[in-house]
């Protein structure tokens, strides 16, 4: 008697929308359907939930003399007609970029007080204030650098709050000094300045600041532990109050703190956390914004975090690692970027332009319309993108009956849709495509597809279909691109449980 064939029942569809971001804190089979087990070189455009290949780099300037690393970038906005890009370098100098020259060149502003210190740079009262661990703060008005007498000695952390500058002190571990209102040159108490000790005698040094509305958040760190303090600076200084937020967390440096959306993100050793306003006692509490990607840090330190309004995302740079983490506050999702293995250390937005500084000393600009990276003058490399779904499991085994990929080609490029089985190591290609904007292509066949056949016409959107069968107890889907940029909208997978 012939043996009955196994039947397929319980046909279901998995709809993968990719808008939940990266989750490395859970097992791949425990993720939400819209989360990803891995993603590279893709982000969410400002205000959108569609996963998109990042823009390419444009080479903007060669390194300063001596080829030092660019360790800190900032935009000095003197007035509406005068904005300059400023860079601190690893050899202890401060430069401005002369963009009028062709090609642009770096012009020395001043030597920093010491090498090995990444200075805090704040635009205040039409001047660039420099905190570099020197005997006093200094101010640059676009032409001349002057010292600010009576300002804190050895300051390395600097922030503006309520019309005052707040700085730490290299002489007093607990010391926090605030200038007189609207005056960077007045630091004496008789002139309206304020000095206080945040957590007196705990043996911890003030390492950074953050601002939430009228609260100055003070981060402390040392061998004895960690602490976060809160100074409520509303109203007259005589009514200010100091309280503790946490004694288990801190920001390890002044550059790993950034206000994004309604939260203050900060980088502790090997972790990213946030402080958020809540309708509960204390009204500011530690949140878990970095929980999903903290395993990626692998104990490493985030050297800088900076929010870029132009793209609506925060970039976090990791010491000793070429990967850059991107946080998108509008959907609370993370993605991961890699700029051709370049070690980038700092980023800033100057007007509508986004600049990135490299350990190689080169300055790059994010070209929002570029689909390749210019890693050196006229040296281009294609961007490789990747998005990998959660693992879908069923009792017994499942047969993948049909897969439809919905994407939009922004620029001409190539890519593949792949499926992984239980081993989650060796992918099987379901289909490959080559597409250009305005000419997506539709394919429908019974085997892995390398060629598309039917033009869709003027639409840039492609719905590419594979009827290739794949059977396993666990499946996950991966989209890779080797060139070009796409918007990845949805992947629909039709699965059938196997009986017998």
Q: How far is it, in rounded angstroms, from Cα 410 to Cα 414? A: 12
Main-chain dihedrals φ then ψ at residue 28, nearest 5 degrees: -55, -25
- The confidence score (pLDDT) of residue 394 equals 78
Q: Which pLDDT belongs to residue 461? A: 60
What architecture does CATH give domain 56-379? 7 Propeller (2.130)
- Residue 189: what are its φ and ψ, rounded to 5°? -60, -35
Rounded-to-integer distance, Cα 37 and Cα 98, Å:
43
Q: Tell me the average pLDDT across 265-277.
A: 93
pLDDT-derived band at 207 (thresholds 50, 70, 90) equals: very high
Residue pair 330/44 in contact by the 8 Å Cβ criterion: yes
479 three-state secondary structure: strand
Averaged pLDDT for residues 7-32: 89
Q: pLDDT (tens digit, 9 = 90+) per residue, 75-112?
A: 998 876 667 999 999 999 999 999 989 999 999 999 99
Which has more confidence, 83 or 33?
33
What is the domain partition of the chain in residue ranges?
7-53+386-499, 56-379
Pick the closest to residue 274 from 234, 217, 312, 233 (CA basis): 217
Percent of the chain with pLDDT over 70: 90
Whether 86 and 95 have beta carbons less than 8 Å apart is answered as yes
What CATH number does the domain located at 7-53+386-499 have?
2.60.120
Q: Which 3 state secondary structure label does DSSP give 28?
A: helix
Give the DSSP per-residue string, 396-417. Answer: EEEEEEEEEEEEEESSSEEEEE
Cis peptide before 473 (omega within 30 of 0): no
Three-state SS at 191: helix
* pLDDT band (50, 70, 90) for residue 393: confident
State percent of the chain over pLDDT 90: 75
Supply the mean pLDDT for the chain.
Answer: 90
Q: Which residue has the tokens 């993720």?
A: 31
pTM for the full predicted model: 0.91
Expressed in angstroms, the distance from the first to the final Cα of the chain is: 17
Decide if 342 contacts 375 (C-beta within 8 A): yes
At 462, the pLDDT band (50, 70, 90 cuts) reads: low
């Amino acid at each position: 008697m012939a043996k009955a064939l196994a039947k397929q029942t319980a046909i279901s569809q998995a709809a993968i929308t990719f808008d939940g971001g990266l989750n490395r804190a859970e097992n791949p089979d425990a993720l939400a359907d819209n989360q990803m087990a891995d993603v590279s070189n893709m982000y969410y455009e400002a205000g959108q939930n569609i996963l998109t290949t990042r823009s390419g780099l444009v080479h903007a300037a060669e390194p300063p003399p001596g080829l030092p690393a660019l360790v800190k970038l900032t935009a000095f906005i003197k007035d509406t007609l005068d904005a300059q890009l400023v860079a601190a370098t690893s050899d202890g100098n401060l430069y401005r970029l002369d963009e009028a020259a062709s090609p642009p060149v770096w012009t020395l502003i001043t030597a920093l007080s010491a090498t090995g210190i990444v200075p805090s740079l704040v635009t205040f009262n039409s001047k660039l204030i420099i905190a570099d661990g020197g005997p006093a703060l200094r101010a640059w008005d676009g032409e001349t650098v002057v010292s600010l007498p009576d300002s804190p000695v050895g300051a390395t952390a600097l922030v503006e709050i309520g019309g005052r500058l707040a700085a730490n002190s290299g002489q007093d571990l607990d010391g926090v000094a605030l200038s007189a209102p609207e005056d960077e040159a007045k630091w004496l108490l008789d002139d309206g300045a304020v000095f206080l000790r945040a957590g007196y005698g705990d043996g911890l040094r003030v390492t950074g600041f953050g601002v939430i509305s009228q609260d100055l958040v003070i981060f402390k760190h040392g061998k004895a532990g960690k602490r976060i303090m809160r100074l409520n600076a509303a109203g007259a200084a005589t009514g200010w109050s100091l309280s503790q937020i946490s004694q288990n967390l801190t920001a390890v440096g002044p550059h790993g703190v950034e206000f994004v959306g309604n939260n203050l993100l900060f980088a502790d050793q090997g972790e990213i956390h946030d402080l958020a306003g809540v309708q509960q006692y204390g009204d500011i509490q530690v949140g878990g914004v970095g929980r999903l990607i903290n395993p990626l840090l692998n104990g490493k330190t985030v050297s800088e975090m900076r929010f870029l309004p132009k793209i609506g995302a925060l970039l976090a740079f990791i010491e000793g690692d070429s990967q850059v983490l991107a946080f998108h506050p509008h959907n609370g999702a993370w993605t991961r970027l890699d700029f051709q293995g370049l070690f980038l250390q700092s980023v800033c937005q100057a007007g509508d332009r986004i600049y990135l500084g490299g350990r190689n000393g080169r300055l790059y600009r994010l070209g929002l319309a570029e689909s390749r990276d210019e890693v050196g003058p006229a040296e281009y490399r294609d961007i490789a993108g990747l998005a990998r779904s959660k693992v879908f499991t069923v009792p017994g085994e499942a047969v993948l009956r049909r897969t439809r990929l919905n994407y939009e080609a922004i620029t001409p490029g190539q890519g593949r849709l792949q499926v992984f089985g239980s081993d989650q190591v060796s992918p099987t290609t379901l289909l490959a495509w080559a597409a250009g904007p305005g000419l997506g292509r539709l394919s429908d066949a019974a085997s892995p597809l390398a060629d598309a056949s039917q033009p869709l016409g003027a639409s840039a959107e492609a719905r590419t279909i594979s009827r290739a069968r794949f059977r396993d107890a666990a499946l996950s889907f991966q989209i890779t691109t080797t060139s070009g940029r796409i918007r990845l909208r949805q992947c629909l997978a039709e699965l059938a449980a196997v009986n017998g």
